[in-house]
Copies of this chain bind each other. A is one copy, B any other.
Amino acid sequence: MPRRPDFARWLDETNDVTQTFLAAGQIPGLVNLAGGLPEPDTWPVAELSEFAARAMSEYPAQALAYTPIDGLPDLRDRIAAQYSTGALRLTRDNVLITTGGMQALDLLGKVLLDPGQLVAAQSPAYLGALDAWKPRAPRYRPLVFEDPGFDPQAGLAGAQFAYAVPNFSNPSGRLVPLEQRRALVAAAQATGVWLVEDDPYGHLYYDGPALPHMLALSASGAAVYDGPVIYTGTFSKQLAPGLRVGWVIAAPKVIKALTTAKQGSDMFTSGLCQHIVIEALDRGLPERILPGILDTYRARRDALCAAMAEHLSDHFAWQVPAGGMFVWAVARDAALDTDALMKTGLAHGVCISPSSVFDPLGRDRRAIRVNFTLNPPEVLAEGVRRLAAATRAQLAKAA
């Protein structure tokens, strides 16, 4: 049989870590600290079930039809209103509904990148963003915000866009301080570079009030927001991931370009799922369930960090994150290769994420990402004990 055409080149560059994660899900008794999964008990199942039936029977034309590419106008209006302030004036023309937060990243790559162009990305970076942009074959300039010499303007200059997760970055859990948010916005304004603010964890503050978004900090009081920030959000953490509803807030011309890209990507987001979200917003459901989510996740963060302090502090250093879903721990000993540790961990019944997958250049093998939202405190403690045993075994092998 003749040889079939090759697949597109970017497919050669995928690593097998995600497959290893997925396979890990099949190991009985494994403690999974690797993913970024929520606690299913936080989902308001009964209410969502009622809203789904109502959306179908009362609004079949919205739930079941071909609906607008850019989203149901009622949902776009609600999101615009939710983010509007005196200085930040948003209309539905500033809002695109996406099929989950991931689609926003895919569409941004399609719209902002030709092959070989430069992305300035907070480093370490969200694996999903790197995945989303692979088909566009960008170059990367890592932005290390915590580096004392970091210069936002030099960091952004010449890029197609900058990418940041200011609230509890995946993977580092880092909160970008207010002053640096302002500096990034100023740099975007000075250089003209688009500033993508990815905010899936913006509601998950466990220790204090939320800092302002860069979107708000970039508002000029214009009648319709036309600034440099492209903000992406999702209902996956506020309601449930299975709805696959997210959104982008940006200047209208960006929304228009993204809408053109969405037309050729999946045409439109399920009206059923969008309408369930509208019903939930109108009844204040996200606000109502948020305190319970915060209590659950705060207790789990504390349990994880306490276990790590007890079992891992000889081998790793970390900061307790003020929110989000992850602890980022850096090995004290440079000889500890965390790609290898992931595999040793699997043999010890625990799965973590190694830092290499969050490095656009694939080089960093010094750190691990540990999730605390999926498992109850006692399981987290057991996972940390297994991880400590794996670390000792790994170091013994390396010595």
Nearest CB of B to A281, in Å: 17
Chain A window 24-37, contacts with chain B (Cβ cutoff 8 Å), 1 for yes, 0 for no = 00000000000101
Which of these binds chain B: A53-61, A169-177, A178-186, A375-383?
A53-61
| Given A45-B64, A241-B66; A128-B267 close (CB under 8 Å) | yes
Residues of B within 8 A of A99 (CB): 99, 244, 266
A window 220-274: CB within 8 A of B: 228, 240-244, 257, 260-261, 263-273
Residue in B7, B60, B194, B263 whose CB lies within 8 Å of A257: B7
Knowing A112-B5, A115-B115, A273-B272, the reply to whether A265 touches B106 (Cβ < 8 A) is yes
CB distance from A17 to the nearest CB of B (A): 12
Give min CB distance, A90 to chain B, whole Å: 19
- Which residues of A117-132 are within 8 A (CB) of B? 128, 131-132
Q: Chain B residues with Cβ under 8 A from A67's Cβ?
A: 242
CB <8 Å contact, B64 and A53: no
Q: Closest B-chain residue to A160, C-beta based?
A: B5
Q: Cβ of A134 < 8 Å from any Cβ of B? A: yes
Chain B binder among A8-16, A309-317, A319-327, A362-370: A8-16
CB of A165 within 8 A of chain B? no
Given the known inter-chain contacts A8-B111, A106-B264, A128-B267, please indicate yes or no for A66 contacting B49, CB distance below 8 A: no
- State A204–B48 Cα separation when bound (angstroms): 34
Chain B residues lying within 8 Å of A18, measured Cβ to Cβ, are 263
Q: Which residue of B lies closest to A117 (CB)?
A: B5
Residues of chain B with a CB closer than 8 A to A241's CB: 64-66
* Interface contact A100-B266, CB-CB below 8 Å: yes
With A3-B192, A56-B52, A115-B115 in contact, do A242 and B110 touch (Cβ < 8 Å)?
Answer: no
Number of residues of chain A lying within 8 A (CB) of chain B: 83
**CB atoms of B46 and A57 under 8 A apart:** yes
Cα distance A37–B61 when bound, in Å? Answer: 12
Most central of A106, A241, A263, A266 by chain B CB within 10 Å: A266
Nearest Cβ in chain B — how far from A153, in angstroms? Answer: 11
| A114 interfacial contact with B, CB 8 Å | yes
Interface-centre pick from A57, A68, A264, A267 (highest chain B CB count, 10 A): A264
Beyond known contacts A65-B241, A106-B266: 17 more, CB 8 A cutoff: A3-B192, A5-B161, A5-B192, A7-B112, A8-B111, A43-B64, A45-B57, A52-B55, A67-B242, A99-B266, A106-B265, A128-B267, A242-B271, A244-B268, A244-B270, A265-B265, A272-B273
User: Would you list 20 pairs from A and B whose C-beta atoms are within 8 A, ordered by A residue?
Assistant: A3-B192, A4-B228, A5-B194, A8-B110, A8-B111, A11-B111, A11-B257, A22-B68, A35-B66, A48-B56, A49-B53, A53-B53, A64-B241, A65-B240, A66-B241, A110-B135, A135-B136, A135-B261, A244-B268, A244-B270
